[in-house]
Amino acid sequence: MPNRTEQRIIDYLKRYAFGRDNAVRSQQIVRDLGISDRDLRENKGHIVKKHGIPIGSTGKGYFYAANDLEIMNFRNEYKSRFDECLLMMKAYEAMVARKDQMSMI
């Protein structure tokens, strides 16, 4: 069950930011709810991961996903970021491996 702050965020987004096209900027949410930007980010993650409630965010702000397509689009954005992080990890590992090989010569 969401805590009080989480529930306030959920209720706010359902009312004012239902669907991606109605996303509300974080500054507006923070102001309206009287919470910090950090609290908003941390609670958003907790709402999604622990409670399975479809809160998304874009460059335009936060929103309550209106349908499965919006949920999957957000999922795909995370997958793309994850794939990019894996490529960066592999690049760093390759740098270290090259240095190790050079030190053996």
73 and 60 inside one domain: no
Which residue range(s) make up the domain with 76? 67-105
Nearest to 54, CA basis, from 9, 3, 101, 103: 9
Place 98 in a pLDDT band, splitting at 50, 70 and 90.
Answer: confident
15 and 51 inside one domain: yes
pLDDT in tens, 43-77: 999 999 999 999 999 889 999 999 999 999 989 98
Question: Two tokens at 2?
Answer: 């969401």
Question: Two tokens at 67?
Answer: 């349908």
Give the predicted TM-score (pTM) of the model.
0.80
Please state the domain count of the chain.
Answer: 2
14 and 53 inside one domain: yes
Evaluate the CA torsion angle 26, 27, 28, 32 in order and state its sign. Answer: positive
96 and 85 inside one domain: yes
60 and 73 inside one domain: no
